[in-house]
Amino acid sequence: MPWNDNSNNNNGPWGGNRPGGGGRRPQSPWGGGNKPPDIEEVLKRFGGGAGKFFGGMGGPFLALILGLVALLGWGATGFVVVDQAERALVMRFGEYNRTLQPGFHIHLPFPIEQRLVENVTRTREIDIGPPSEALERFNLSTNQRGGETTQGRPTINEEALRALERTADYQDGLMLSGDENFVVVSFTIQYNIGDLRNYLFEIRDPEGAVRAVAESGMRELVGSLSYEEVSQAGRDVLGQDLRVLMQEVLDSYMSGVNILSVQLRDISYPPRVAEAFLDVAAADQDARAAINEATRYQNEQLPQARAEAEALLQEAQGYRERVVAEASGEADRFRQVYESYSASPDVTRRRLFLETMEEVLSKTDKVILESDAGSGVVPYLPLNQVRGSN
């Protein structure tokens, strides 16, 4: 027994010298001083030590224990817990044997049976195109505000624009429409695993395939539409069409991928031409404003004119009434005078005449001259005025 053996106090169970045992020189764990370990020596000591260890202890029993532990360890390669969202494929000597449902399972250990576990129901996402925030900087995202046009014209920061245009995301999203206009599309693919066997056994790098097919497919679709069609027909139709196209292609690859949905996050014009595009909306607003202004003018002028017209008419009517009333009054006065005159004409005539002339002549300055002084130069000297100026 190693602990009974007093002859080699400096040895550990594995043989060799313990550090700090013999001399002060640094020791390797395999013993031997400065020389590199010798294979034979090592084996000898190993074998010797092990032999001593086992031999001394009741060797078969210990061997059994160790054997069982090793066996258990080996068997444990066959234990697996399959999560609710997962499925596992078991291959026996490499050949597909069965699928494991969620739960705890034991299968034959490696390399007899080998399992591959994969989450099948989790929704995986791939984003393609620039994120909305990047576009919002240039006032472009039509994602929010239900597609209304925004007020005001942006001043585009040229540097920021170039930085955006250099990003891979932006280049992924920049596409040509059928009528050769640029359009920036951002979309998200959501998929999960439909057929696990195909997914694991038929296709290499399925995620890469999904991405490549998505990019290619979207460009194909956008390229078949005019710019107007793309921006108006919009997101739902485009998303549906792409989903169908992608599923078709991925099925032809036997990818086992199940495309759940394609969501269009943004469809917009490239920021480089933002000013011109927003100008269109601004122009519409300007046009509307001009028309409104003219309508306002109309609403102001017409009532005014109508009022003026009315006033003219009223004035005319007033004139008519006045004139008629005055005339009636005068005519009545005449009639009454004539009535009273008719009773004694001569007397009344003479009296009227004298009364009138009295009034007239008393107002005026008179010069009384002989009537035959009317021809030739009138011999008249305005003494009044001469006297007045002295």
Partner 1 sequence: MRTAGILTVILVAVAATIALNSYYIVREYEQVVKLRFGEVVFVANPAGEVSDGVAIGEGPGLYLKVPLIENTVRYDSRNIMLDSNPSLVTVAGGERITVDSFARYKITDPVTFYSALNNLFEANSKLSALVEDSVRAVLGGQSQETIISEERARLMVQIRDRVNAQAKANQFGVEVIDVRIRRADLPEANADNVYARMETERRQQAALARAQGNERARIISAETDRQVVGLIAQARKESETIKGEGDAQRNRIFAEAYNLNPEFADFYRSLQAYKAAASEGDQLIISPDSEFYRYFTSERGGR
Binding residues for partner 1 restricted to 160-199, rule: CB under 8 A: 176-178, 180-182, 197
Per the DSSP assignment, residues forming a β-bridge with 58 are: none
Give the total residue count for the chain: 390
Cα 167 to Cα 171, 179, 207: the distances in Å are: 6, 25, 21
Handedness of CA 12, 14, 19, 22 (dihedral sign): positive
In whole angstroms, what is the distance from residue 244 CA to residue 262 CA? 10
* Angle, vertex CA 50, rays to CA 44 and CA 51, nearest 5: 85
Identify which of residues 122 and 306 has a Cβ nearer to partner 1 in the complex.
306
In whole angstroms, what is the distance from residue 231 CA to residue 221 CA? 13
Decide if residue 228 touches partner 1 (CB under 8 A): no
Tokens 């280049």: give the residue: 171
H/E element, 237: helix 227-252
Residue from 82, 203, 233, 260 binding partner 1 (CB under 8 A): 203
Pairing of strands 174-176, 103-106: unpaired
Residue from 201, 229, 233, 237 binding partner 1 (CB under 8 A): 201
Decide if residue 121 touches partner 1 (CB under 8 A): no
Residue from 220, 228, 340, 344 binding partner 1 (CB under 8 A): 220
Q: Are 199 and 118 in contact (CB under 8 A)?
A: yes
Task: Give min distance, CB of 226 to partner 1, in A.
Answer: 10
Task: Give min distance, CB of 354 to partner 1, in A.
Answer: 7
Considering only residues 6-45, where is the footprint of partner 1 by CB under 8 A? 43-44
The tokens for 354 are 């004298």
Residue from 208, 240, 244, 344 binding partner 1 (CB under 8 A): 208
Residue from 99, 216, 240, 261 binding partner 1 (CB under 8 A): 216
Give the three-state DSSP class for 257: strand
H/E element, 197: helix 196-201
Q: Are 191 and 258 in contact (CB under 8 A)?
A: yes
Site string for partner 1, 270-299 (x = CB under 8 A): x-xx-xxx-xx-xxx-xxxxxx-xxx-xx-
Residue from 167, 328, 340, 344 binding partner 1 (CB under 8 A): 328
Decide if residue 371 touches partner 1 (CB under 8 A): yes
Identify which of residues 163 and 283 has a Cβ nearer to partner 1 in the complex.
283
In whole angstroms, what is the distance from residue 297 CA to residue 278 CA? 29
Residue from 51, 67, 102, 147 binding partner 1 (CB under 8 A): 51
Decide if residue 4 touches partner 1 (CB under 8 A): no
Task: Give min distance, CB of 190 to partner 1, in A.
Answer: 21
Task: Give min distance, CB of 149 to partner 1, in A.
Answer: 12
Residues 329/330/336/342 CA torsion (nearest 10 deg): -160
Considering only residues 90-109, where is the footprint of partner 1 by CB under 8 A? 91-96
Decide if residue 202 touches partner 1 (CB under 8 A): yes
Decide if residue 157 touches partner 1 (CB under 8 A): no
Decide if residue 62 touches partner 1 (CB under 8 A): no
Task: Give min distance, CB of 25 to partner 1, in A.
Answer: 27
Task: Give min distance, CB of 162 to partner 1, in A.
Answer: 13
CA atoms within 13 A on the CB side of 376: 3
Residue from 360, 377, 381, 386 binding partner 1 (CB under 8 A): 360
